[in-house]
Structures are given as structure tokens and as C-alpha cells.
């Protein structure tokens, strides 16, 4: 993410570390558990979340059978696992670009919705969707994908205390923060405002040791991918964190015309059916521009994937950010969230939609496209340069822009019964020779040879690693259902880690019901080409009591609610 996204950014510091694999590298594994951290929440992913952090050495010993199951590490001023409500206290003070708003983090959503504090969906932070380290591995972003609202924070990697928190812009199409990704040098965060249909940016300055000095939500950098008006500006939160230290988040800048622009530089609708009168893009255009993942290349180009398919490539370093490449959804099919740079190209996947319609979709595709896009001020014509489709499952449904295949696949998500697929999450090996991509439904991983494009599939089923630690009340027939999601790699290159989903999925319930929530550990083999499931480090949450729902799955009757969606490796 690496965690997709590189899901861990490409960085010179990592390259140096990977050049000496014989020397042990201390690291931690951070799992983002989407489940509510309180009882009585109004729905899945509504109220709080947990960061489940483990020592890498303990994880490796457990996987080797030479150590006990690891226990989570606390964040500063809190207990383990790290509760998002404790890391980001509700007393934090809210500001916009003009100054204090008179609200706190605890009351911000009530103010936005006009509801009474403490009722319904007014609650603020929730559904921790992922956490990714910066290139320096000094800080980690925290992405809170609560329904109808979106928050992004930064915490220190060493003490694990909050240093900044923001709420994203609300546009005429809504607001939510799906994920954010670091720039190659760690001086910016690119924000996927999914329902807001706007790409946003936070700018940072650092000292010579890589410490963040300032962290500012730069509204002037914002770039629309489908939004036509700003309803509520971004917000920053200041005050004292759980350790009693001051937060440094700020917000400034006036929204440029790019923040609400409807047309691409080629004169096409950014999103099909735009009101400017422009024509839709060719080869399907972009019918549904909810931002899924803005994958960042080493030259600061941002590859913005969409739920409805298609792709926009932006120059992330310009202010405002500007489109430099555009593709229709017949070229890049929909709902891709998995991307990584390898061998001078960016690998992007396509998977089943997270929306309800995804329940009858089956999609596993992988594309490879150049990193050679122009800087802002210049742009390529539509659908150029053409990507290479290096993998497309023969039974992909004709959805998300695909023009061939069956119209639907209603076989559900139970392993051994379902014939569906759902590609999600990608990571490159430390050698740079392979890219691995998980399939949430089939419980397997497909690796791609960077030099040849050749694919190889290996299964995560057939061991007892998941079934031995399956959640209570999971039927025995389903106890091997590990359900791999977002992935990362160990610094020495021996292991891949992935988020193993839970029996009550807090996102994509039609593809992500799993038996053993936690951190999955894959032991790599054949030079990084293949692997096998070595262990699952279990996470647990029996505080959350939201009722289960998993379309195409089974009726879970137990109390386990833990549901990790992302995993990231943080080097000490």
C-alpha cells in the first residue's frame, strides 16, 4: 500500500536499508483495524477505531514457531491497542483558513450536519482504513474513512503520538477520506477525498533530520475530478495530544478554479455528464469519479483511480495540482486500489466495486503504465501512452468499463463455492523483481515478474495458520478463510504481511468476510516469486457490537468485530 501505493512510498532511505539484507533491521507492523472502539455505535465504522501495532521481531518469531503470539504496543499516553479517540482527543480545537470555528473535534460533525451532539452519525472519527509511513519512516499517516466525513492525521513513528489532524473539504458531491499517500520526499500528503471527488494536498517542511516543522492543508493545491462547488472548507485541529504535546496542523490558501473545474486539458469531461457542455472522454470516459487510490510515482505524478474506472494522472508538485494524462474506463477498468512502482513503470490493478453493485462483480486485472508524464503546463492526449494489460482474468465480468465477459457473477464470496475474484492491494518485493497482488475472495496471491510480465498464482489456503486462530463461532467449514487485503513487505525481503479481514467486515462486506482477523504473514520462496501462509497474528475487538452483515457470506453469530483493512511496515 505498497498499502498500496506504493503502498509504502519509494524512498532512498529504504533502498539503502535493503542493500544490506544481512544486517537485521528493526521494524514494526502497523495494522489498521476498522471496527468501532466503543459499544452502541450507529453502524459499522462510525465511532473510533484501533491501531494494532506489533514488534516485527516478535511477528517473525511467532511465524517461525519460536515465540508466543505478539501483543500490541501502546501509543503515547494511551493503552494498547491504540484507540483513535485517545490518540486524537475530542477536545482538539477546530480552525479553518480564517481562524477558529468555535467547534472541537467532538462537535465538528454535529456542526456540519446540524445535529445534536452525541446523537446518531454526528460522531467524528472512525473506520481507520489505513496507515502508511513516510519515506523517512519517522511519521505515519492515519486515514479515517468514516461514512460522510473524512479525517487524516499524522503520528510519530517512535512515540506514536499525534502531531496533526485535518478534516477534508466538503464539496457538492460529499466528503470522505479513503486514503492518503506520501510524496517521494515526504514533504506532501496526497488525499483521496472519495465522495468529495477532489484530490487534495497537505504540505510540510522538515529540518535536516527529517522532523516535520510545519504541516499545512493547502487548499490552493486542490484539483477537482468531478466536484463543481465547495460546500465547506477544510479544517485543522490544534491543542494538546494524548501525551500533552501541541499539535501543529494548520490550513490556509484560497481554492483555485482547479478545485471546481469540470473539463480536462483535452476539453473532455473529467467525469462523464459534466455540466460544462464538454463531451465525455473517449473509450468509456470516466462515469463515476469517486477517488479510490492516488498512487504516487517517484517523480511526483499521481495516478488517480476511480470507482467507475478510468484514470487521471496529475502533477502532484504543482499548485494547484493539474491533469497531465487521462484515460477512459475501457482502458483502466474500475475500482483499482493497489499500485506500486517497479522497473520504471507503475502497476495498477482493477477489482470489484466497494459499492453494493460489486456483490455480483468478479474482477482481477493488472496494468502497467509508464512513469513518463509531463509536468503541469503540458499534457498528453487522451489514452496516451497506452498501458499494457499484463493480466486479466478470463472470467472478469463486463463491469467497470470492461466490454467483454459475463454481465454478472452471483456466486457470493464463500471459498470453494464462489467463482468471483476481487483484486485489492499490491506490493513489490525488496529485490524489485516481483509485484504481488491479493485476491480477497479466492484467498490467493498473484505475483508478476517485472521483467517479463509473467504471472504466478499461489494459495494462502490449505494450512492451519488461519483455522488455528479463527474467531469464535466461525463455522469450521469456513475457518480457513483468511481473506487477504492490503499488503506490505519486511525490510529483509523474507516476508510479506497483509491485513486478514474479520467475520464482520466494516467495508466491502460482499468480498471481505474473513475467519481470522489480524496480520497475515507470508513466507516468500523461489526468489520472491511465490509464498505460503506462515501465520496470522490475531487482533481482537469484542467492544464493538454492531450487527454483522456480509452479502454472499454466512450469518456470523459470534462476538468478534476486529476487521483490519491495511498493514504497513514501519522501520525503526
| pLDDT over 80 at 151, yes or no | yes
Q: What is the pLDDT of residue 277?
A: 95
Report d(CA 127, CA 563) in Å as an integer. 10
E-state strands within 183-300: 188-193, 198-206, 212-218, 223-224, 230-232, 235-238, 249-252, 291-296
Classify 146 in phi/psi space as left (phi over 0), alpha (psi -120 to 50) or beta. beta
- Across residues 277-304, what is the average pLDDT? 98
Q: Which residues contact 299 (CB under 8 A, 6 or more apart)?
A: 184, 371
Q: 71 Cβ partners below 8 Å, 6+ apart?
A: 54, 80
Give all domains of the chain, ordered by start, each with its CATH number.
12-571 (2.130.10.10)
- Most confident option among 20-29, 40-49, 472-481: 472-481
Q: What is the C-alpha to C-alpha distance for residues 537 and 515, in angstroms, rounded to an integer?
A: 13
Q: What's the pLDDT band for 21 if we cut at 50, 70, 90?
A: very low
User: What is residue 399's predicted lDDT score, i.e. its pLDDT?
Assistant: 98
Confidence grade of residue 1 (pLDDT, cut at 50, 70, 90): very low
pTM, two decimals, is 0.94
Q: Would you state the pLDDT for residue 225?
A: 99
pLDDT of 124 reads 74
- Confidence bin at 22 (pLDDT 50/70/90): low
Digit-coded pLDDT (tens) for 367-401? 999 999 999 999 999 999 999 999 999 999 999 99
Distance CA(381)–CA(118), nearest Å, equals: 51
Question: Can you tell me whether residue 505 is helix, strand or coil?
Answer: coil
- Confidence at residue 548, expressed as pLDDT on a 0 to 100 scale: 81
Q: What is the pLDDT of residues 518-569, one digit of tens each?
A: 999 999 999 999 999 999 999 999 999 998 889 999 999 999 999 999 999 9
> How far apart are alpha carbons 183 and 139 in whole angstroms?
13
Poorest-confidence range of 5-14, 257-266, 334-343, 378-387? 5-14
Residue 504 has pLDDT above 50, yes or no: yes
- Residues of the chain with pLDDT > 90, as a percent, come to 89
Grid coordinates of 195: 465522495
Range with the lowest mean pLDDT among 119-128, 164-173, 241-250, 341-350?
A: 119-128
Residue with cell 504471472: 455
Are 199 and 290 spatial neighbours (Cβ–Cβ below 8 Å)? no
Residue 18 pLDDT class (50, 70, 90 cuts): very low
Given the C-alpha cell 494489460, which residue does it identify?
Answer: 389
> 112 pLDDT band (50/70/90 cuts)?
low
For 176-203, write each residue's pLDDT tens digit.
999 999 999 999 999 999 999 999 999 9
* Confidence label for 252 from pLDDT (cuts 50, 70 and 90): very high
Amino acid at each position: 500500500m505498497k498499502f498500496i501505493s506504493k503502498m509504502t512510498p519509494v524512498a532512498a532511505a529504504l533502498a539503502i536499508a535493503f542493500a544490506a539484507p544481512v544486517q537485521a533491521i528493526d521494524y514494526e507492523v502497523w495494522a489498521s483495524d476498522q471496527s468501532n472502539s466503543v459499544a452502541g455505535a450507529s453502524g459499522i465504522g462510525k465511532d473510533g477505531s484501533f491501531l494494532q501495532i506489533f514488534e516485527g521481531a516478535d511477528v517473525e518469531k511467532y511465524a517461525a514457531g519460536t515465540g508466543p503470539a505478539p501483543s500490541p504496543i501502546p501509543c503515547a499516553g494511551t493503552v494498547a491497542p491504540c484507540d483513535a479517540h485517545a490518540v486524537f482527543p475530542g477536545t482538539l480545537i477546530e480552525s479553518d483558513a480564517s481562524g477558529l470555528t468555535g467547534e472541537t473535534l467532538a462537535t465538528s460533525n454535529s456542526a456540519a450536519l446540524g445535529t445534536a451532539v452525541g446523537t446518531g452519525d454526528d460522531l467524528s472519527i472512525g473506520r481507520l482504513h489505513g496507515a502508511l509511513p513516510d519515506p523517512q519512516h519517522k511519521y505515519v499517516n492515519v486515514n479515517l474513512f468514516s461514512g460522510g466525513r473524512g479525517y487524516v492525521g499524522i503520528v510519530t513513528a517512535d512515540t506514536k503520538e499525534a502531531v496533526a489532524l485535518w478534516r477534508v473539504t466538503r464539496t457538492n458531491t460529499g466528503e470522505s477520506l479513503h486514503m492518503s499517500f506520501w510524496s517521494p520526499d515526504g514533504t506532501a500528503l496526497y488525499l483521496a477525498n472519495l465522495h468529495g471527488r477532489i484530490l487534495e494536498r497537505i504540505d510540510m517542511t522538515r529540518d535536516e533530520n527529517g522532523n516535520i516543522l510545519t504541516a499545512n492543508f493547502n487548499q490552493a493545491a486542490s484539483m477537482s475530478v468531478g466536484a463543481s462547488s465547495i460546500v465547506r472548507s477544510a479544517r485543522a485541529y490544534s491543542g494538546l495530544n494524548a501525551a500533552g504535546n501541541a499539535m501543529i496542523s494548520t490550513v490556509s490558501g484560497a481554492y483555485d478554479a482547479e478545485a471546481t473545474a469540470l473539463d480536462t486539458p483535452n476539453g473532455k469531461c473529467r467525469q462523464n455528464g459534466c455540466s460544462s457542455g464538454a463531451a465525455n472522454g473517449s473509450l468509456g470516459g470516466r462515469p463515476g469519479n469517486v477517488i479510490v487510490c492516488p498512487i504516487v510515482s517517484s517523480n511526483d505524478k499521481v495516478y488517480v483511480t476511480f470507482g467507475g474506472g478510468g484514470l487521471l494522472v496529475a502533477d502532484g508538485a504543482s499548485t494547484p495540482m493539474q491533469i497531465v494524462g487521462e484515460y477512459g474506463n475501457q482502458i483502466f477498468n474500475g475500482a483499482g486500489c493497489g499500485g506500486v512502482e517497479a522497473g520504471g513503470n507503475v502497476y495498477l490493478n482493477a477489482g470489484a466495486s466497494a459499492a453494493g453493485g460489486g456483490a455480483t462483480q468478479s474482477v482481477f486485472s493488472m496494468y502497467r503504465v509508464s512513469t513518463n508524464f509531463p509536468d503541469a503546463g503540458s499534457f498528453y492526449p487522451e489514452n496516451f501512452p497506452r498501458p499494457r494489460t499484463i493480466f486479466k482474468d478470463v472470467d472478469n465480468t463486463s463491469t467497470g468499463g470492461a466490454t467483454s465477459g459475463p454481465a454478472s457473477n452471483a456466486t457470493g464470496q464463500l471459498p470453494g463455492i464462489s467463482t468471483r475474484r476481487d483484486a485489492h492491494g499490491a506490493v513489490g518485493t525488496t529485490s524489485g523483481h516481483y509485484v504481488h497482488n491479493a485476491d480477497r475472495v479466492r484467498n490467493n496471491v498473484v505475483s508478476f515478474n517485472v521483467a517479463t510480465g509473467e504471472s504466478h498464482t499461489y494459495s494462502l489456503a490449505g494450512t492451519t495458520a488461519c483455522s488455528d486462530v479463527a474467531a469464535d463461532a466461525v463455522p469450521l467449514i469456513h475457518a480457513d478463510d483468511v481473506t487477504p487485503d492490503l499488503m506490505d513487505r519486511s525490510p529483509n525481503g523474507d516476508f510479506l504481511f497483509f491485513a486478514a479481514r474479520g467475520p464482520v467486515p466494516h467495508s466491502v462486506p460482499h468480498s471481505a468476510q474473513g475467519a481470522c482477523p489480524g496480520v497475515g504473514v507470508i513466507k516468500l520462496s523461489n526468489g520472491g516469486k511465490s509464498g505460503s501462509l506462515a501465520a496470522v497474528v490475531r487482533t481482537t475487538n469484542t467492544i464493538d457490537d454492531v450487527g454483522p452483515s456480509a452479502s454472499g457470506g454466512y450469518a456470523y453469530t459470534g462476538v468478534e468485530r476486529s476487521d483490519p483493512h491495511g498493514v504497513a511496515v514501519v522501520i525503526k
